[in-house]
Amino acid sequence: MLTIEWYALGLNESTHVLFSIIFICVCLIWGSLKWQNYHFEKLAATFPGPKSLPFIGNALELIDNNPEDILWNLRHLSKTYKSPFRLWLGGKLCVFITKPEDLQIIFNSPKTLEKDALYGFLEKAVGTGLGTAPVDKWKRTRKALAPYFSPKILTSFVPVMNERANIIVQNIQCHCGTGAEIDIFPYFMPAALDTVCESAFGVKINTQQGQNSSFSESLFRVSELLAARLYKPWLHMDWIYEKTSYAKELNIECEAVRRFVYNVIQERRKTITRTNSSSDQTPVTNANIHSNLSSRYLLDAMYGSHENGSFRFSSQDMIDEALTFLFAGSESTALTNCFCLLMLAMHPEIQEKVFKEQYGIFGNENRPVTTEDIDKMEYTEQVIKETLRLFPTLPFILRSIEEGIKITQDHILPAGSTAVIAPLLTHYDSTLWKQPKQFNPENFSTENVERRHKYSFIAFSGGARGCIGTKYGMMAMKTTLSIFIRHFTVSTIIGLKNIKLTADLLIRSKHGWIMKLEPRVYQKSRQRS
């Protein structure tokens, strides 16, 4: 009967035998893998999650050309399955963790310092910079660069932040009072990029004046292309990915970005050489950081490491770190500023409170922001943090589990699994936040912050591998918002429910950040006597 069936399928007896052998081999291999992974899968089975299919696991949950739907799918899963819950990507166990008590364990355990293997996809763009480096390199790099994020050095960047914020005002002024609705992101992204390049690297690229615009476009495209691979599990295999148009385009864009950064580094090296030659100063090193004004620049720190025996940055290291700070320090602040202004446009009463705080600091004076002013912007900071709660820049933080680690009474994360931290899920948890879908800066009043668990808010990640540039980012955002809100009143017809989020490497608004601008009116009642 079997013979008749095989012949009916158009297969001869030898082909029948061959297929039978292949089938038996696949079963044996599958059975062997299941046996070898018995302990691993036994621990995995303790986590709730959707049923998985052989070989592909739950990859179908992520197979979607629309990143907006992927975020929605994950929100739906988080409501269906309590944290921690699991998804299988092929044979990769991903455990989603959203509870602050569990996050505290993951962020602070030495067993979870290693970034996940998926970050390896980012190496094409940023190499092994601070965000993607293996633990040993990360520790050395973090120690070497930490002094350059001290309050003293960050203070020296404030004039640059002021200058770039004022250029935003100048460039966008033509839309003020016209009644036109505009997307403000194209004005904020170049400013953030220029600020990072000038404050961290000591080089002006003048993107706001229309120069080097192709570099900004390449950065954005690289982000899109990298995300396309991350969100399509079948592209995780190099032998498939390298044959796609994604890989070819990514190679071209990454080459353009890295060539630009290399030129920035060379430009700074020439400046350092001229400075040292014209003044009898010793070369810039970590040892003379506080005596040499130019040593406030991050590139100088890396360039000077050639003279320092503790840790040397190679030319490749310098490019990797520069790219990491460009990616992390520019677009994230630009996105947050735009989301923040969109929230103020939707909530005029909150916008008025922000302006009143600014007026209380500056009055009618159109003067630059100082670090002392920044420290006084308490309510503005609440607004920024509440914006980051609703719209955290990172969709996911991935940590590799190097050794088994217990996170709850019933759950042990097995070695070889991946801890997936999604700030969006934690920030919308109704057990942590009252009315989590509403915009309420009072969530970050001193009283409410003290009442909550520290890891209820994870916009800047957390633990030892938390964002090194948190203070820098907050200073840059406060400065920009202060100058902008003192010049303009913003409004929009868009409601909070109308915002559709999408994600590549960062979370964005699918339809942009659309609003109207009117000149800020200083009423007589506000004027100081």
Secondary structure of 306-374 in HEC code, one letter for each residue: HHCCCCCCCHHHHHHHHHHHHHHHHHHHHHHHHHHHHHHHHCHHHHHHHHHHHHHHHCCCCCCCCHHHH
Q: Which amino acid is at 224?
A: E
Q: Is 467 annotated as a binding residue?
A: yes
Do the Cβ atoms of 462 and 421 come closer than 8 Å? Answer: no
For residues 472, 144, 416 and 96, what is the CA-based torsion angle, rounded to 10 degrees?
-10
Helix axes 332-346, 470-487, angle to 10 degrees: 40
State how far the alpha carbon of 482 is from the alpha carbons of 184, 243, 255, 416, 489, in Å: 16, 48, 37, 46, 12
N- to C-terminal Cα separation, the chain:
103
The CA distance from 174 to 43, in Å, is 61
Q: What is the DSSP string of 423-481?
A: HHHHHT-TTTSSSTTS--GGGGSHHHHHHS-GGG--TT--STTS-TTHHHHHHHHHHHH
The CA distance from 127 to 137, in Å, is 12
The CA distance from 120 to 162, in Å, is 36
Q: φ, ψ for residue 179 (rounded to 5)? A: 80, 0
The CA distance from 78 to 481, in Å, is 34
Question: What are the structure tokens assigned to 195, written together?
Answer: 């600020």
- Summarize the annotated binding site for heme as residue ranges: 467
- Summarize the annotated binding site as residue ranges: 467
